[in-house]
A and B are shown apart, each in its own frame.
Chain A
Amino acid sequence: MLDIGQTRGRAVRLNDEEQAMRAGEFGPATQWAIEHQIGVGRYLGAADFVPVSQAHIMADTESLGVAGVEWLEHWARLPEAQRRVRIPTITDPRGTDFAAAHRLKQQSWMLDLERRAIRAFEALGILMTDTCINYQTIMPPVRGEHVAYGDTGVVIYCNSVCGARSNFEGGPSALSAGLTGRTPRYGYHLDAHRRATLLVQVAATPRDLNDWGALGGIVGRLAGDYWQVPALVGIDRVPGSDEMKHFGAALASYGSVALFHMVGITPEAQRLDDVIPDGEIRTHDVAAHDIRAFQAAYAQQIDKVDLVVFSAPQLSLVEMRQLAGLLDGRRADIPLLAVTSPQVKPDADRMGLTARIEAAGGTVLSGMCFYQSYAREMAEANGWQRLATNSAKLTNIIGGYGYRPALLSMEACVAAACAGGRIGA
């Protein structure tokens, strides 16, 4: 039997189980979760719910604040049967690496708040994976799998490269999906929204990861908002996972975009006709000089940086190896931070990559992300202002925290770190 949720906008149909959740039969946490989802679904025009197989929660404490942590603790105090998530639910990076927090000059209150959040999440049955590269390290979704992921880079990669189906699920909604095992069916769960809305003709396939990020940033600006789906043509080779990662993360960051197609490469766009609807579609061209100009705009008037950061997204094992190779026999004389996941870090330790990076003066951090780790307070405590990175996503975000970023290749970042921060030395 179906019932209609109480709506002012579009109705959200509820099945028997969803009605029971709403009536409180599964406890107050699930009751709150389904109400939250009904409200979101009503606003966004969901007709009903779709079951999801996994959830991924972004919930660093700089975002949560004290109020958010207390809110989590409220649910964590419920009896166990009323507070546990019902599908595999994992976490995005935390706001610190406890083993290295003192090196970042993070304050004790930050760590205390992180510990409280972790305890609450664990009480809810959430797996503390602390990663934004779960598609490289945990369990990539398969084509057509409905999920509720909560990191824009995770969503865009899994939608586009894997062919999975997710909207951007912020922390409260991803937690709701974990508790109810479903999410409102709108946006990228629906075939109709997965067609391209703009065509981007790329004349020069990027080479380095920062170039892929720059292309993502350019396309993101062209796209403009969440409901746009760019289709790229002209990419002349199949990009690797790290290249797709940097491209997608930047596209999602600059454009709030959740899905792209690369014709002949990504699974839903084997041919242009697969994703281009009938009729007119706006078209843009991107050339090599556009990618250079995008990066040059950030580097203008910065000839020296205070630190180098490799983060956002966390580094894969392959990126860790590249970085270790670039640092062999050299010495960084400004802070060089390499941020990876708790899944990659033990392998990097075992294979000697961590030791090689740290022998050259770098710092390997695990389970956090630079911009999610009280970046403003770290800047003030360490005297950091000018930052070099090969992540276009980080470049886009970090200005709001008071930094002046330069977007460079990994090689150029390492060279700057080993030359007292001087760019192009």
Chain B
Amino acid sequence: MSRIFHAAAGMGAKVQAPALVAKDGFSARYDLDRIRGVFSRPQHKLAGENYVGRVLVLDAAKGGVATAWMLHDMKARGVVPAALVLNAINPIMVQGAALAGFTMISGFDQDITQAIPNGALVEVDPTAERPFIRIV
């Protein structure tokens, strides 16, 4: 039986990929080595993990404004997550996802990082009447 978790908002296309989950924040500038496609900030709970092609399920958008450009560049170079799923977004993530045509959903009635097991195959559908993430 699949479990489904609805989000307050979403944008981008429907995707299916393995989840990479942590109760930690997200900023492309602060947290990623965008050349190698890994989390590089030593203090991040996903430090050393490869994020390419994964659905990132994290707590909150962090840091500065650079992610608004970086998602676009990461997508152009093919070193990009499949989607971003956050408890709390900031405008930068929305702006970056809008420019890049990137899949993102956010805002849940529970802590989504506790609901999705790390490594689970998930489907993210921002195009649904109520955007959702579902464990396949």
Contact = CB atoms under 8 A, between A and B. Distances in A.
B69 A43 contact: no
Contact of A43 (B25, B42, B61, B94): B94
Interface string A367-383: 00001100010000000
12 contacts: A40-B94, A44-B91, A63-B73, A67-B77, A169-B91, A169-B95, A170-B91, A172-B98, A256-B25, A256-B60, A372-B66, A399-B42
Nearest to B99: A172
Contacts of B62: 255-256
A152 B99 contact: no
A63 B95 contact: no
Contacts of B77: 65, 67
Contacts of B15: none
B120 interface: no
Interface in B84-132: 88-92, 94-96, 98-99
A187 B91 contact: yes
A10 to B, nearest CB: 9
Interface in B45-70: 60-70
Interface residues of B, number: 43
Contact of B9 (A43, A173, A400): A43
B61 A225 contact: yes
B30 A168 contact: no
B134 interface: no
A396 B76 contact: no
A54 B94 CA distance: 21
Q: How large is the interface on A (under 10, 10 to 19, 20 to 34, 35 or more residues)?
A: 35 or more
Interface in A165-213: 167-173, 186-187
B91 A226 contact: yes
B55 to A, nearest CB: 18
A390 to B, nearest CB: 19
A64 interface: yes
Given A170-B65, A253-B63, A66 B42 contact: no
Contact of A252 (B9, B32, B64): B64
A59 B96 CA distance: 13
B98 A36 contact: yes
Given A170-B96, A226-B90, A256 B63 contact: yes
Interface of A: 9, 36, 39-40, 43-44, 58-60, 63-68, 71, 150-152, 167-173, 186-187, 224-227, 252-253, 255-256, 371-372, 376, 396-397, 399-402
A32 B89 CA distance: 23
Given A60-B66, A187-B91, 11 more contacts: A39-B11, A64-B69, A65-B72, A67-B72, A169-B65, A170-B65, A224-B60, A224-B88, A399-B42, A399-B43, A400-B41
Given A167-B91, A225-B60, A396 B30 contact: yes
Contacts of A371: 29
Between B29, B70, B90, B96, the greatest number of chain A beta carbons within 10 A of the residue's beta carbon is seen for B90
B46 to A, nearest CB: 12
A170 B31 contact: no
B131 to A, nearest CB: 9
Contacts of B96: 170, 172
Contacts of B65: 58, 150-152, 168-171
B40 interface: yes
Given A167-B91, A169-B65, A36 B33 contact: no
Contacts of A376: 33, 35
Contact of B32 (A39, A151, A400): A400
Nearest to B128: A8
Nearest to B89: A226
Between B27, B42, B66, the greatest number of chain A beta carbons within 10 A of the residue's beta carbon is seen for B66
Nearest to B66: A63
Given A9-B9, A226-B88, A40 B98 contact: yes
B68 A173 contact: yes
A64 B96 CA distance: 11
B69 A172 contact: yes
Given A9-B9, A68-B72, A172 B64 contact: no
A292 B1 CA distance: 51
Nearest to B60: A225
A169 to B, nearest CB: 7
Nearest to B129: A8
Between B29, B43, B99, the greatest number of chain A beta carbons within 10 A of the residue's beta carbon is seen for B99
A256 B33 CA distance: 20
Given A36-B99, A39-B11, A43-B11, A152 B64 contact: yes
Given A36-B99, A397-B29, A400-B29, A44 B88 contact: no
